Amino acid sequence: MKNMILQCAIIFGCLSFGELLVYLTGTKLPSSIIGMLTLTLLLQLGFVKLDWVKGIAEFLSFNLAFFFIPPGVGLMLYFDLIKAQFIPIIGATILSTILVLVVTGWVHQLTRKNNGVSKK
Amino acid sequence: MEFLKNELFLIAITFGVYHLSKLLQKKTGWILLNPILLSIAVIILFLKIVGIDYETYQEGGKYIEFWLKPAVVALGVPLYTQLQAIKKQVFPILLSQIAGCITGILSVVLIAKALGASKEVILSLASKSVTTPIAMETTRVIGGIPALTAAVVVCTGLLGAIIGFQVLRLGKVKSPIAQGLSMGTASHAVGTSAAMEVGNKYGAYASLGLTVNGILTAAITPYLIELLNL
């Protein structure tokens, strides 16, 4: 992974731009999502070359799941609440996740066909 | 045994447990042995046994959690590499995202209510499909418990990563684009990393789903909850 410093500068630059926007506008959007869109825009406009961020971006996105472990361990704080309402929490989460998966997929498949752009 | 509370040791444990969990899954190939789920379980068990509370664990854990934000920014790269393909179908993508977002919020809230969840729990579940920072912020805005949201968000992500592709196959969602989108929309970054393992194209659409649904959920949830008048 060459030029780690530049790569970090770009990623954290985009992120802090997001933080700035949140600070200035008070928007409810998280800084990370704004930073992600900023990075996409900079790449699209050619201000940032793909080579400049490719290494760290691959490292971070391939290991995204790992960074969830600490908030996941936070489950231990809510064992009592979760035990008391286990069925509603788990039932609603499972059913809703299945619904979202299928509804999103179906609406996309249907509208894409009707739109006449189903060519691969 | 004061040393067990050393934050660098707790970080090392987290890396080590995750690495071993990944090895174990590779060896057994058993899908329920999801490395994150297993790591969380092992770490909680370890903390309980040696008597360390979550706050102490987070002295080290926060340095790992810190990378969540830059990692979400990094998803801009796969998004960029797929931009040309995405531009050709703005309409289907936007429609499916709006449908997925509203389905996610309404279904979880109504089902939880029907099953007898308390109001604060219902509010904490509303934004469960989107990435932790957005979900926790949304919960704070509507008056739920952000930490419970974080836990449910992780569960939702794991659920999607573990059963997502099977559900899509059973539900006859066949196109790789629709599958990728659904994974990101339903199960945020954990679903996206599962999609990324299947292929870059899946990963790119999953990160698109994660982004658009994240934005929509942050924008819509407070109004939808008000309308529902729980």
d(CA A64, CA A12): 16
What share of chain B in percent tops pLDDT 90?
A: 60
Which residue from B83, B103, B86 is spatially nearest to A105, judged by alpha carbons?
A: B103
Are B107 and A96 in contact, with CB atoms under 8 Å apart?
A: yes
Looking at per-residue pLDDT, the higher value among B214 and B103 belongs to B103
Per the document, the length of chain A is 120
Query: With bands split at pLDDT 50, 70 and 90, how would you rate the model's confidence at B32?
Result: low
Would you tell me which residues 42-81 of chain A have a C-beta closer than 8 angstroms to some C-beta of chain B? 43-44, 50, 53-54, 56-58, 60-78, 81
| Mean pLDDT over the full length of chain B | 90
Looking at per-residue pLDDT, the higher value among B42 and B35 belongs to B42
Q: CB A33 to CB B171 under 8 A? A: no
The SS3 of residue B21 is helix
| Predicted interface score ipTM higher than 0.90 | no
The SS3 of residue B44 is helix
Taking CA–CA distances from A35, the nearest residue in chain B reads B73
Would you tell me which residues 95-114 of chain A have a C-beta closer than 8 angstroms to some C-beta of chain B? 95-109, 111-112
Q: CB A99 to CB B107 under 8 A? A: yes
Query: With bands split at pLDDT 50, 70 and 90, how would you rate the model's confidence at A116?
Result: very low
Distance from the Cα of B86 to chain A's closest Cα (Å) equals 12
Distance from the Cα of A120 to chain B's closest Cα (Å) equals 10
State how far the alpha carbon of A9 is from the alpha carbons of A46, A48, A61, in Å.
17, 11, 17
Are A105 and B96 in contact, with CB atoms under 8 Å apart?
A: yes
d(CA B70, CA A64): 10
Per CB-CB distance under 8 Å, the chain A contacts of B121 are 81, 85, 88-89
Those residues with Cβ within 8 angstroms of residue A26's Cβ, 6 or more apart along the chain or in another chain: none
pLDDT tens-digit readout, A50-96? 999 999 999 998 888 888 889 889 889 888 998 999 999 999 999 99
Query: With bands split at pLDDT 50, 70 and 90, how would you rate the model's confidence at A114?
Result: low
Q: CB B47 to CB A28 under 8 A? A: no
Least CB-CB distance to A53: which of B77, B92, B147? B77
